[in-house]
Structure 1
Amino acid sequence: MSKFLQFQCDLDTFIDELSLRVKQNNARVEELLKTEKKTYANFVKAMQSMEEELELFFTPLSHLNSVNNSDKTQEVYTQSLPIITEYGTKLSQNIDIYKSYKAILENEKETLNYEQKKVLELNIQHFELSGAHLDDKTKARLEEINIKKSELSNNFSQNLLDATNAYEYIITDEKDVEGIPVSDKESARFEDDGETKYKFTLQMPSYIAYMTYGKNRKIREALYKAYVSRAPENGKIIEEILSLKDEMSRLLGFKNYSEYSLASKMAKDEESVLSFLYNLLNNAKEQAKNELKELQAIAPQNLESFDTAFYAELLKKEQYDIDEEEYRPYFEQKSVVNGMFEFLNRLFGISFKKVQEKLWHEKALSYDVVLDGEVRARIYLDLEARESKRGGAWMHNWQAHSIDEKGDESLASAFVVCNFPPSSDTNPSLLRHDDVVTLFHEMGHTIHHVLSSVNENEVSGVNGVEWDAVEFPSQFLENFAYEPQVLKMFALHHETKEILPDAMIEKLVKSKNFLSAIGMLRQLEFSIFDFKLHAKVHTEDEVQSLLNEIRKETALITTPEYNKFQNGFAHIFGGGYAAGYYSYKWAEVLSADAFYSVVDEGIFNSQTAKKYLDIVLNGGGAKSMGILFKELMGRDANTDQLLRLNGIK
């Protein structure tokens, strides 16, 4: 296999080739299982290589479907999903593979290195968490549960979407839209029988626009009430999901779903998670109360839940006087990218060399990543918004550094995708500071993946990293986007070349932690509720009672009785964060601690930064992030540094 693959995806032949590859892989599995004396070298390595080649073939299609979407990519992608899903399901339930992995680990435990042991341990755990080792009756029930859970999660999300789309609030009085930004106002504006009216909905941009800038309190309350009482039918769905998750966990040998969830995470046990969350809560609460007093002082009446965003915006303008538009000329996209490259060079000694190759779009660029004079990886940047591109920002890993069973080395590669304002021959792409933070965040994920020197594909780069630790490198890097000496490396006015003035930098840095303790309490409320909820089965009324109890500690403003937040908590009932919402804060503690160690050492003279490169970035997922963090810092993570990052004293 060559060190880098050429990006290509023939849509006309893709399904036929995918089907053929899957058929060949299935035959290869049967052939490998017949090996009499199975070893890591002749069985596990061959399985890894086979899986990797299929993944490398499939990734360009999923990438293309996200960044250069068309009817054709959608059609081919939709056709390919059942093929790849059926293949993956069959493989994960193959008891003979599971038994082979267990036997190899037992037979070769004295001679395997830690990377190889980790590959086997993760595979064995994956089989066991899917129940592959259990009797046929139990496996059949687990399959029924998984199908039903999937159906219920889909129903939960669909109910939420339908309720969101069904609501609208029509405004006819111009006074009621005064102060709303022009772009938001124009989006809401429509003509009806010659009369200008404004429609606000529960879609996030529309909802946030009125809750933040809308002066009419009664309208804010109406929108808020509609938003927090959406999809009441989801209450019964939650009951059923919780019951199924509890049954599944017990069948797999766990006392509840929270314990099951932690089996593949960095956190040791339920007590560790809850004590971590309550420690943050106790530390943030007093400052949150003071922040609320500041908010209350500028409000003419007692603050309600539907008032906070509006008065927060007024207070922010009063305290910081930040106009986002004033900053954008200083954050021209090319300057930011080049400055970020320079920053990474000074921090870690890595450099980026542009590569000329044909990619999926003319705005996409590729760079070789060079360390110690050697090309270590390749990254692909696709940063500008366009109609054919899915919204948001992400890092998508393609290749991982590895050495196959023949001894051939593959170097890592990854895609960095954002949706920044498009540039043209006459207009540059000018970013918001939030965009800069986003770019640093995704680059944090990227260098975590591509700078790994692990030789086993399944634990190289971001592969094998625990769910509650995977955001550590991205959050670590994004924090530098607020550091004055880093900002001055790229924040140049695109016309005058003037560096962003110190006064503007100071305002930007100070505004970062505006009402941060209140924000911390809100996230902790979600995290504690999620984790306690999955500790046992609850009825619909018990779910509400649990949330009410938690709110006594986390909500500084009494929440209205009609607020049924749980019915819209899609992260845990429609997504992958069940009993894992705490992960955001868990990873943030690691990132804040490592970040301040670098900052306190002077950033560019930091020994911690060099160790971070050698230990965390180099280490990939071959060791638990808890072990790597201890190697980095010489101790466990210090929660106080997260409080410091959020300006909580």
Structure 2
Amino acid sequence: MALLFRNRSLLAKRSLPSKILSRDTGYIVLIPEIGEDLPKKGSLLQSNGLPEFSNISVEKCMAAIGVQALEFEKGIKEIEKRLEQHPDPDVFIHIFQPLDILGAPLDVTWGLSKTLYLGNNTSMPTNNYLAIHEHAKRVRASKFNSKIIYDLSKRDLGDKKRTNEETRMVKKFVLEGKLNGLELDENRKYQLRENRKNLLEEIGKFKIKIETATKQFKHVINDFSIVRDFPEDLLKNMAVNSEKPNEGPWEIKLLSHIYPRFMEHCPDRNLRFNAWLASVTVGAIHRSKDLATSVHVEQIRFLRREQANILGYETYADVSMETKMAASTSNIKSLFRNLLQVAKLTQDDELNNLYKFAKERGFDGSQMELWDIPYWSRKQRKALTKYKDEEIREYFPLETVLNGLFRVCEKLFDIQIAFRQGISVWHKDVKYYDIFEKNSREPTSGFYLDLFANKNHEKPALHMDKNWMVAIQNRSKIASTMPLAALIFNYRPIGLNQPILLSFKDVETLFNKFGHALQHLLTRTTYADVAGVSNVEWDVVETSGHVFSYLLNNRSILRTVSGHYETGAVMPDDLADSMFESRKLTAGLDLCRDMYLSALDIELYTTKEYWLDVVKRLWPEFRSFPLDKLDSHPCSFSQIFSEDWAASYYSHLWSRVIAADIYSAFYEVRNDEEQIRTIGKRFRDTYLALGGSYSPNEVFRMFRGRDPSHKALLRLLGIKKDGQVLVK
């Protein structure tokens, strides 16, 4: 593979600028106010097909979404009227093609609003974005609430003359209509509406209590000896005065950018225990009766089960499986059994080794507890692998990584990524890139790249993620639109004119988001509703991103994206070995934790058991720790109660399993340049091109020629059976 990714200079027209500059810096009803400068039908695009970000304001976005919402709703009524007058309409000519054209402007404004919200929160405040988001989401879904469109789609379902993409389109409208209750009589439709209203209210109560309880915990540290070895950025985040991070005092908070890293670096076991206990008792009744969420958890479960029953399903998990590759909870449990056979034994070995390591270094506990794992794992990783994050960073200057990523993509997928000057952007540091097919003069897609964090907090501090891919515009041959995306990151400059050095985790994130973006940008479908990640089953929507992250395991690709910031030397093999080995030391522990949370989610939405009984039953199956009697972690499991992952949390793990098997195809031919090109072309022609126009099972078989296996993930994680790596 070394020949394929040998170094070369970048073409001038697409290379980065010679220097990367740092940056200095309930529901709301919308009443559209149509300004005189707003283009026809509220479009925010220029004549070149790109948005004029420098001239887009909150007011224009709100006015545009108002105009487009009215146009969309009016268009749906006109389609319905024509259908009533047509005796035997072709659903594509009379429904889907007009809908593609009708929805394009609204989708763009929605995407632009999200881009501004994530890229510059001062120009698109949270409340304004949420108002636009809710309005657009509600209006866009109205096409799936039309009874006549649903009935005609259902009638067309058996037409064998349809292409695969057309069949998937029809199936999408039928399934969405069914899940929206279009098959129900008026009485059950009323029950469904009331159920969903009650569910939203219950979720709102749960969310407020969790947010309040999370913010409520705060513990002050005054002793510098406890924090003296903390990383500088962690000290800054914890310091009461962030301008003087070494002077203290410092506060422990249950925030995503503080709590996990505090647990890794805090040498005081009692402090770790207190912080851990606070994190697993958010929402617990023994912590605060006023902020207890147990009743809400059970009510949310009940309402979702009732919703499933109204729609004709036995459990809410059954409803969830309608939009998943897994198709059934039994298939998910089968995956868990296969992984657990090896992962649980590996977890036990890892704990024994970690305990021995800690005892030799003064640990006085009788056993490893959950609050000990992060701290001692970091110490073990540093001692056994000689892993030093500071040294690793020296080989990953941002400009080198990004140019290397572009070269990898150009080689694998026969494309050219070209920087274009003079494009309107939302911040001076944002760059725009065209993607060209090989030997083509016209771009087929484009993306904005916003790399830097800033001093003025212009990007929202969302708790789950700090890096995003936003699909601004979908590909549609019908509406003549090309894919546009925004990639938004939060890399922090060291100082003026100094290179930004990335951790390996940062590099993986960059690859992951770019892989996800390419699935949107390189799609070849006809209709927007199945383009890119649209209509891709939830449990595999993250797959392409994970494949790109796994590509970094290939030494030739790693060499392509690395180069010492002073000498340009590629990362030495022994340092790369240390980096990879350090990530495998707790692979069994991490995998068992992910499986436990996934299994907990599925069981909570399958059974009627009280949540604590479900925990007590599942915990010993996956975890090698005693269950603390105060541990109430399901009471703050926001992802499955107030976010979008109910009966879907397993999707994160499922997509990693699929991605690992896809990557194994590259791994198997790693020393053959032509074979690698062939695999790259096949990956592009399937995963990056087909979007949601084929079922994920069919797409995988097109790529691999067989059904997926869990073994590739175990090999990647270094999880062993009887002392041997499971898969070579």
- Where on the TM-score scale, by shorter chain, does this alignment land: which range? over 0.9
Say which is worse superposed, 387-396 or 619-628, in terms of deviation: 387-396
1:379–1:415: 8 Å Cα contact kept in structure 2? yes
Q: CA deviation at 1:101?
A: 2.6
Gap change, CA 1:70 and 1:517, over 3 Å in 2 = same
Q: CA deviation at 1:105?
A: 4.1
1:263 aligns with 2:322: yes
Is 2:564 aligned against 1:493?
yes
Structure-2 separation of matches of 1:555 and 1:75: 41
Are 1:117 and 2:167 matched, yes or no? yes
State whether residues 116 and 123 of structure 2, in contact with CA within 8 Å, keep that contact through their aligned partners in structure 1.
Answer: no
2:81 corresponding residue in structure 1: 34
Normalising to structure 1: TM-score of the pair? 0.93
Aligned: 1:400 with 2:474: yes
Partner Cα distance (1:196, 1:449) in 2: 46
1:277-314 superposed Cα distances (whole Å, 9 cap, x missing partner)? 12111121111111111111023322222211121111
Deviation at 1:100, TM superposition (A): 3.2
| Structure 1 partner of 2:424 | 358
Q: How big is each residue's C-alpha offset from its partner over 1:598-626, in whole Å with a ceiling of 9 and x where there is no partner?
A: 12202743232221111221111100111
Matched to 1:492, the amino acid is: G
Deviation at 1:543, TM superposition (A): 1.3
TM-score (norm 2): 0.84
Amino acid of the residue matched to residue 180 of structure 2? S
Paired residues of 2:552 and 2:558 also in contact (CA < 8 A): yes
Say which SS state the counterpart of residue 488 (structure 1) adopts: helix
In structure 1, the residue matched to 2:189 is 139
Alpha-carbon separation, structure 2, partners of 1:239 and 1:401: 42
Task: After TM superposition, give the deviation of residue 583 of structure 1 in Å.
Answer: 0.9
Q: 1:585 aligns with which of 653, 657, 661?
A: 653
Per the TM alignment, residue 596 of structure 1 is displaced from its structure 2 partner at its CA by 1.4
Cα distance in 1 for partners of 2:239, 2:128 equals 38
Structure 2: how far apart are the matches of 1:71 and 1:597? Answer: 45
Q: 1:250 to 1:479 in 2, by over 3 A?
A: same
| Count of residue pairs brought into register by the alignment | 638
What is the match of residue 210 of structure 1? Answer: 262
Specify the alignment match of 2:112 in structure 1. 60
The alignment status of 1:48 with 2:107, answered yes or no, reads: no
Partner of 1:371: 437
Determine if the alignment matches structure 1 residue 342 to structure 2 residue 407: yes
d(CA) in 2 for partners of 1:70 and 1:403?
A: 35
Distance 1:329 1:615, change over 3 A: same
- Specify the SS of the correspondent of 1:401: coil
Q: Which moved more, 1:234-243 or 1:215-224?
A: 215-224
TM-superposed CA distance for 1:84, in Å, is 2.8
Residues 429 and 189 (structure 1 numbering): CA distance in 2 closer, same or farther, change over 3 Å? closer
Q: Is the 8 A contact 2:682 2:703 kept in 1?
A: yes
SS in 1 for 2:590: helix
Q: Is the CA contact 1:14–1:76 (under 8 Å) kept in the aligned structure 2?
A: no
Question: Which protein is richer in helix relative to its size?
Answer: 1
User: What is the deviation of 1:371?
Assistant: 2.2
CA distance in 2, matches of 1:197, 1:10: 41
**8 A Cα contact 2:531 2:692, kept in partner:** yes
SS of structure 2 residue aligned to 1:527: helix
Alignment of 1:205-284 (within 5 A): 205-232=257-284, 233-284=292-343
- State the alpha-carbon separation in 2 of the partners of residues 529 and 76 from structure 1: 36
Alignment partner, residue 6 of structure 1: 51
Match of 1:331 among 388, 396, 408: 396
| Contact 1:212/1:310 (<8 A) preserved | yes
CA, structure 1 residues 16+400, in 2 after alignment: closer, same or farther (shift >3 Å)? closer
Q: Does the aligned pair in 2 maintain the 1:401–1:452 contact within 8 Å?
A: yes
RMSD of Structure 2 on Structure 1 (CA) = 2.2
Matched residue, 1:157: 207
Question: Match for residue 127 of structure 1?
Answer: 177
Contact 1:289 1:556 (C-alpha < 8 Å) held by counterparts: yes
Task: Report SS of the residue matched to 2:448.
Answer: strand
Q: Which runs of 5+ in 2 are unaligned?
A: 1-44, 242-246, 285-291, 721-728
The runs of 5 or more residues in structure 1 that have no matched partner are none
Structure-1 separation of matches of 2:134 and 2:647: 28
Deviation at 1:389, TM superposition (A): 1.5
User: In 1, are the aligned partners of 2:117 and 2:125 still within 8 Å (CA)?
Assistant: yes
1:179 pairs, out of 224, 229, 237, with 229
The one-letter code of the counterpart of 1:402 is: S
Distance 1:622 1:543, change over 3 A: same
* Alignment counterpart, residue 62 of structure 2, candidates 15, 18, 35: 15
**Residues 255-289 of structure 1: per-residue CA shift (max 9 Å, x gap):** 10111100111112121111111211112111111
Q: Aligned to 1:468, which of 539, 544, 553?
A: 539
| Counterparts in 2 of 1:522 and 1:216: CA distance versus 1, 3 Å | same
Change (3 A) 1:291 1:86: closer
Which residue of 330, 342, 345 maps to 1:286?
345
Is 1:505–2:564 an aligned residue pair?
no
The share of aligned pairs that are identical, in percent, is 24
Mapped contact 2:420–2:433 kept (Cα < 8 A) = yes
Distance 1:363 1:341 in 2: 19
Q: Distance in 2 between matches of 1:518 and 1:242?
A: 29
